[in-house]
C-alpha cells in the first residue's frame, strides 16, 4: 500500500511555487532549479539530427545535444536549430584544423567578398609633421573679467585684489594696454593703484599632444609696461597640468617694458611626457606699471610618423623589402626577388618566346612609323 502511494505521488502532476535544489538545500533565489555536484554533471537529451528535426513544434529555448553531423549543443531560437556559437555554422573544427564550410566566399574587411578569399583594407599610419593643437584669439570670450572658476576652458587664478585679467576690445574704456598685434579682442590687465595687491595668473585652455609628438612650437603676442616699481613682473610659462609644475619659462620681465611676439620651442623630456596635459600661464604682478596684454596664442606639435599597418601580411621567412609574392606549379606562394622570373627562363623555348614577343613589338612600331610617314607625305603634297 505504501509503495502504491509513493508511486502515485511521484507521477502525479503538481506545481511547486519555490526554488528546487538537487544536491543543495538552499537553491539560489534567482533560479527555479539549481543542481549542485562536484562529481556529476547535467545530461541533456541526446539525439541525431534527424530525431531533432522530428520534434513537433519545439519551444523557443529547447536544448538538446546532437550526436551526428556537426555534433554539439543546439537550441531552438524560434525559427531554427542553432549551435551555442550562434546561427553561423560555417566555421568548422576538424582535429587541430579549422576551415570554412560554406559554398561561397570569405571576406576580411568587406561584407561583399567577390572571390573565395577577399581581403579589403588600406595602409594606415604615417602622419607626423606639424599641426596646431591649441589656438586662442579671444574672439569668443565675453567682454569683462575672465572667469575664476577652474575647469573652464580658460580661467584665471586670483591671489591678489583689485582689477583682474579682462577680455577687451578697442572700444572698452579699460583697454589701456594694447600690443602691436592685438586685434579684435584680447586679454588685458591694468594697474589699479593698489600697490603690491595685483598678482593674477591667466591660464589658457588645456592641450594634450599626441603620443608621437616630440616637441611644441609656442607663439603669442604680448605687451608689458614697466614703471620703475619694485616687484613688478610679467611672466609666461609652459605648465604641466598632469604633474602640477612649471615646465619651462617662456618670458620673464621685471624691469623692462616690451611690445613684441614670442616664438619658441619646447622638446619633451624627463617627466614631461607628450601625452600629459599642458597649459600656458601668464602672471602679472603690478605695483606702479600700466599693465599687460596677450593675444593670438598658437601651439603647434611636431610629431614623428606613426608605424604603418597594412591590409595583408605574410611571414614565411623569405619576406624582404621589394620582394613579390609568387607561386609554384601547385599554387604554393612564397616571397621572391622581382628578378626571379627572369632567372627562371632556363630553357631555349622561354628565350625564343621572349624574342618572338620583342620582334612582334618592333614590327608594330615599324608599321606605325611607316603610317606616320605616309600621312606626313600626303599632307605636304596638298
Lowest-confidence region among 18-22, 43-47, 219-223: 18-22
Give residue-wise pLDDT tens across range 109-130: 888 888 888 888 766 666 678 9
3-class secondary-structure state, position 50:
helix
Q: Which of 66, 84, 117 is the last residue of a domain?
A: 117
Mark whether 284 and 331 lie in a shared domain: no
Q: Is residue 375 part of a domain?
A: no
pLDDT of residue 13: 54
With 50 as the cut, is the pLDDT of residue 194 above it? yes
With 80 as the cut, is the pLDDT of residue 375 above it? no
Q: Which residue carries 588600406 as its cell? A: 122
pLDDT of residue 208: 94
Q: Pick 364 or 322 by higher pLDDT.
A: 322
With 80 as the cut, is the pLDDT of residue 176 above it? no
Mark whether 203 and 149 lie in a shared domain: yes
Mark whether 99 and 230 lie in a shared domain: no
Mark whether 147 and 253 lie in a shared domain: yes
Identify the CA nearest to 156 among candidates 249, 280, 286, 288: 280
Taking the C-alpha atoms of residue 204 and residue 153, their distance in angstroms, rounded to an integer, is 7
Which domain does 67 fall in, by range? 18-117
Q: What is the mean pLDDT of residues 153-165?
A: 77
Mark whether 289 and 250 lie in a shared domain: yes
Identify the CA nearest to 250 among candidates 259, 262, 233: 262
Taking the C-alpha atoms of residue 106 and residue 222, their distance in angstroms, rounded to an integer, is 62
Mark whether 211 and 249 lie in a shared domain: yes
E strand or H helix that includes residue 299: strand 291-303
Give residue-wise pLDDT tens across range 293-318: 999 999 999 998 776 666 677 788 88
Q: Are 275 and 208 in contact (CB under 8 A)?
A: yes
Q: Is residue 78 part of a domain?
A: yes
Mark whether 318 and 234 lie in a shared domain: no
Q: Is residue 12 part of a domain?
A: no
Mark whether 295 and 150 lie in a shared domain: yes
Q: Are 286 and 300 in contact (CB under 8 A)?
A: no
State the CATH number of the domain containing residue 249.
2.60.120.200
What's the start-to-end Cα distance of the chain, in Å?
Answer: 131
Q: Is residue 349 part of a domain?
A: no
Give residue-wise pLDDT tens across range 220-278: 999 998 877 667 889 999 999 999 999 999 999 988 899 999 999 999 999 999 999 99
With 80 as the cut, is the pLDDT of residue 379 above it? no
Mark whether 338 and 208 lie in a shared domain: no
Mark whether 224 and 333 lie in a shared domain: no
Mark whether 192 and 280 lie in a shared domain: yes
Q: Is residue 2 part of a domain?
A: no
Taking the C-alpha atoms of residue 110 and residue 88, their distance in angstroms, rounded to an integer, is 17
Average pLDDT, the chain: 81
State the cell numbers at 156. 584665471
Distances (CA, A) of 203 to 175, 198, 241, 260: 20, 16, 11, 20
Number of domains, the chain: 3
Q: Is residue 365 part of a domain?
A: no
Mark whether 102 and 191 lie in a shared domain: no
With 60 as the cut, is the pLDDT of residue 6 above it? no
pLDDT of residue 339: 67
Give residue-wise pLDDT tens across range 47-75: 999 999 999 999 999 999 999 988 889 99
96 CA to centre of own chain:
35
Q: Is residue 213 part of a domain?
A: yes
Distances (CA, A) of 208 to 216, 273, 274: 11, 10, 7
Q: Which of 63, 82, 117 is the last residue of a domain?
A: 117
Q: Is residue 370 part of a domain?
A: no
E strand or H helix that includes residue 240: strand 233-240
Structure pTM?
A: 0.51
Amino acid at each position: 500500500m505504501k509503495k502504491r502511494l509513493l508511486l502515485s505521488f511521484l507521477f502525479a502532476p503538481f506545481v511547486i511555487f519555490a526554488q528546487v535544489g538537487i544536491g543543495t538545500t538552499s537553491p539560489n533565489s534567482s533560479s527555479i532549479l539549481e543542481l549542485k555536484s562536484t562529481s556529476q554533471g547535467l545530461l541533456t537529451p541526446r539525439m541525431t539530427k534527424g530525431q531533432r528535426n522530428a520534434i513537433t513544434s519545439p519551444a523557443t529555448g529547447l536544448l538538446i545535444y546532437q550526436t551526428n553531423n556537426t555534433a554539439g549543443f543546439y537550441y531552438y531560437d524560434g525559427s531554427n536549430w542553432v549551435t551555442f556559437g550562434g546561427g553561423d555554422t560555417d566555421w568548422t573544427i576538424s582535429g587541430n584544423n579549422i576551415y570554412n564550410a560554406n559554398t561561397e566566399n570569405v571576406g576580411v574587411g568587406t561584407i561583399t567578398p567577390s572571390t573565395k578569399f577577399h581581403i579589403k583594407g588600406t595602409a594606415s599610419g604615417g602622419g607626423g609633421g606639424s599641426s596646431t593643437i591649441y589656438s586662442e584669439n579671444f574672439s569668443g570670450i565675453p567682454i569683462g573679467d575672465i572667469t575664476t572658476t577652474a575647469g573652464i576652458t580658460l580661467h584665471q587664478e586670483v591671489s591678489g585684489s583689485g582689477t583682474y585679467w579682462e577680455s577687451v576690445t578697442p572700444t572698452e574704456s579699460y583697454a589701456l594696454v594694447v600690443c602691436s598685434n592685438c586685434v579684435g579682442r584680447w586679454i588685458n590687465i591694468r594697474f589699479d593703484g593698489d600697490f603690491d595687491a595685483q598678482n593674477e595668473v591667466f591660464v589658457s585652455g588645456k592641450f594634450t599632444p599626441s603620443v608621437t609628438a616630440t616637441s611644441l612650437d609656442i607663439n603669442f603676442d604680448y605687451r608689458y609696461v614697466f614703471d620703475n616699481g619694485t616687484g613688478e613682473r610679467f611672466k609666461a610659462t609652459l605648465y604641466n597640468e598632469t604633474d602640477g609644475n612649471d615646465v619651462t619659462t617662456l618670458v620673464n620681465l621685471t624691469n623692462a617694458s616690451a611690445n613684441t611676439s614670442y616664438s619658441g620651442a619646447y622638446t619633451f623630456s624627463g617627466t614631461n611626457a607628450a601625452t600629459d596635459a599642458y597649459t600656458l600661464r601668464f602672471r602679472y604682478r603690478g605695483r606702479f606699471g600700466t599693465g599687460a596684454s596677450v593675444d593670438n596664442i598658437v601651439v603647434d606639435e611636431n610629431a614623428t610618423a606613426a608605424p604603418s599597418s597594412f591590409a595583408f601580411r605574410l611571414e614565411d621567412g623569405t619576406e624582404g623589402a621589394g620582394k613579390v609574392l609568387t607561386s609554384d606549379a601547385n599554387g604554393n606562394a612564397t616571397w621572391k626577388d622581382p628578378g626571379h622570373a627572369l632567372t627562371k627562363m632556363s630553357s631555349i623555348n622561354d628565350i625564343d618566346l621572349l624574342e618572338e614577343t620583342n620582334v612582334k613589338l618592333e614590327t608594330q612600331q615599324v608599321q606605325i612609323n611607316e603610317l606616320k610617314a605616309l600621312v606626313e607625305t600626303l599632307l605636304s603634297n596638298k
